[in-house]
């Protein structure tokens, strides 16, 4: 689950998180290892960027020849159009150029392109980048940037978290290859999960747990659990719950999970919820609850509910995605029970009062779990609502 930092960014639209070079390199290398020619002859667009110092621009410019790129395009968003006030200062790179314009520097986005060896040193790299001001502010929804999207073969970026749904739709509309960074909870969005279910998009290779460090603007409040300021005064925060979302193939996606049988899980699982206990059956779905990906029984052929983090290990040759609780599964796996006669209870046994209708179609198990709110009806029956679950079935 994303930490409070992402929630604050989303509500404040202060979501300029700058991706580290090593994180970009590791993910792109996973695609290259699977297909050495994945970028060869391609035009790569890096929108939502700050080309003067962006690590996306730096990676693809430095590796232009190695990747065999046809063209690199990188665009930025105008300072005056950003939803939060920033202490904007044009870079020396821009101010010493004859094209520098004080007004345009703030009101327009910029475009950087790389196609030819402009300095004639026999190499195509970051020193050959050419730049100019865009006609508009660089918003990805503008006709100007849409034309760049349509020209590109591949789109790579870290889009604003607050605009993730819209940005993904913008890419899907154009039917482009892409790799973008987003909040893990985007898996549950009604606009996103159907694409995952249909194997039109999937999670990337290199981020599957823990947190990642992102650069932030100078005026960003350092309220995260983990943060630092480097020797040059640049601010960084650590953010949980981020993933790469992509439709570019990588090897991890085709590695099946090594799993124990159901009997062996009950005997030997490291999870107390499974060992000696077994698997609960949902109260409202014809499926069993599997609370951990490594506890999936390898010999069970019926439907199982698994955490959304399962998608980090999902192999489409091994499992079929049936649907998701509260989303996209009514035809394949309808819910069998409603909870309008239940009320929400606090963990200490007092009545909280919310109607049980709020948990209809959620993954529900019978009984109450220690330390959690639960629901109870007039007959004393108790149930617990779990976090979102994906329903899967083993293939073959």
**Verdict on whether the full-model pTM lies above 0.85:** yes
Contact of 132 with 100, CB cutoff 8 Å = no
Q: Helix, strand, or coil here: 160?
A: coil
Quickly list DSSP for 360-381: TTS-EEES--TTS-EEEETT--
For the chain, helix, strand, coil in percent to 5 are 25, 25, 50
Band of the pLDDT at 103, cuts 50, 70, 90?
Answer: confident
Residue 344 has pLDDT above 70, yes or no: yes
Tokens of 90: 């044009």
User: What is residue 50's predicted lDDT score, i.e. its pLDDT?
Assistant: 74
User: What is residue 353's predicted lDDT score, i.e. its pLDDT?
Assistant: 87
- The span from the CA of 394 to the CA of 271, in Å, is 21
Q: What is the pLDDT of residues 147-194, one digit of tens each?
A: 999 999 999 999 988 899 999 999 999 999 999 999 999 999 999 999
Residue 11 has pLDDT above 50, yes or no: no
Q: What is the mean pLDDT of residues 320-343?
A: 89
Residue 323 has pLDDT above 90, yes or no: yes
- The span from the CA of 302 to the CA of 114, in Å, is 52
Higher pLDDT, 90 or 289: 289
Q: What is the pLDDT of residues 210-265, one digit of tens each?
A: 788 887 777 777 776 788 888 888 888 888 889 999 999 999 999 999 999 999 99
Residue 2 has pLDDT above 60, yes or no: no
- The span from the CA of 86 to the CA of 71, in Å, is 31
**CB burial of residue 30 (10 Å; 0-12, 13-18, 19+):** buried
Residue 3 has pLDDT above 60, yes or no: no
Higher pLDDT, 376 or 99: 376
Residue 311 has pLDDT above 70, yes or no: yes
Band of the pLDDT at 372, cuts 50, 70, 90?
Answer: confident
In the chain, where does DSSP find H-type helix? 4-12, 21-34, 55-62, 64-67, 92-95, 102-107, 143-151, 164-174, 193-197, 262-268
Q: What is the mean pLDDT of residues 267-288?
A: 97
Band of the pLDDT at 85, cuts 50, 70, 90?
Answer: low
User: CB neighbours of 132 closer than 8 A, spacing ≥ 6?
Assistant: 99, 110, 111
- Across the chain, what does the average pLDDT equal? 89
Contact of 245 with 204, CB cutoff 8 Å = yes
Residue 14 has pLDDT above 60, yes or no: no
∠ CA 283-374-347, rounded to 5°: 150
**CB burial of residue 249 (10 Å; 0-12, 13-18, 19+):** middle
């Amino acid at each position: 689950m994303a930490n409070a930092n992402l929630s604050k960014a989303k509500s404040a639209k202060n979501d300029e998180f700058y991706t580290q070079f090593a994180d970009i390199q590791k993910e792109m290398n996973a695609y290259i290892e699977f297909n050495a020619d994945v970028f060869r002859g391609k035009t790569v667009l890096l929108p939502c960027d700050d080309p003067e110092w962006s690590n996306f621009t730096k990676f693809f410019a430095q590796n232009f020849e190695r990747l065999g790129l046809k063209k690199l395009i990188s665009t930025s968003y105008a300072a005056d159009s950003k939803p939060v006030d920033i202490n904007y200062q044009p870079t020396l790179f821009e101010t010493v150029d004859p094209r520098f314009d004080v007004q345009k520097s703030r009101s327009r986005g910029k475009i950087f392109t790389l196609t030819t060896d402009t300095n004639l040193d026999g190499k195509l790299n970051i020193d050959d980048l050419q730049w100019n001001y865009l006609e508009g502010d660089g918003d990805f929804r503008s006709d100007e940037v849409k034309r760049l999207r349509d020209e590109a073969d591949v789109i790579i970026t870290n889009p604003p978290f607050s605009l993730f749904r819209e940005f993904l739709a913008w890419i899907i509309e154009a039917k482009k290859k892409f790799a973008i960074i987003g909040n893990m909870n985007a898996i549950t969005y009604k606009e996103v999960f159907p694409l995952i279910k249909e194997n039109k998009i999937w999670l990337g290779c290199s981020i599957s747990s823990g947190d990642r460090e992102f650069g932030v603007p100078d005026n960003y409040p350092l309220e995260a659990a983990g943060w630092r300021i480097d020797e040059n005064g640049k601010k960084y925060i650590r953010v949980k719950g981020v993933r790469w979302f992509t439709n570019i193939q990588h090897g991890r996606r085709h590695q099946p999970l090594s799993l124990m049988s159901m009997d062996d899980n009950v005997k030997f699982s490291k999870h107390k919820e499974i060992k000696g206990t077994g698997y609960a059956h949902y109260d409202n779905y014809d499926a069993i609850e599997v609370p951990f990906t490594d506890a999936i029984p390898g010999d069970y052929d019926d439907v199982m509910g698994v955490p959304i983090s399962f998608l980090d290990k999902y192999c489409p040759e091994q499992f079929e995605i049936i649907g998701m609780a509260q989303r996209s599964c009514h035809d394949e796996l309808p819910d069998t029970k409603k909870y309008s006669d239940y009320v929400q209870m606090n963990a200490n046994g007092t009545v909280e009062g919310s109607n049980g209708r709020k948990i209809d179609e959620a993954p529900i198990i019978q009984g109450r779990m220690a330390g959690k709110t639960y629901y109870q009806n007039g007959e004393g029956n108790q149930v617990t609502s779990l976090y979102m679950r994906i329903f899967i079935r083993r293939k073959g």
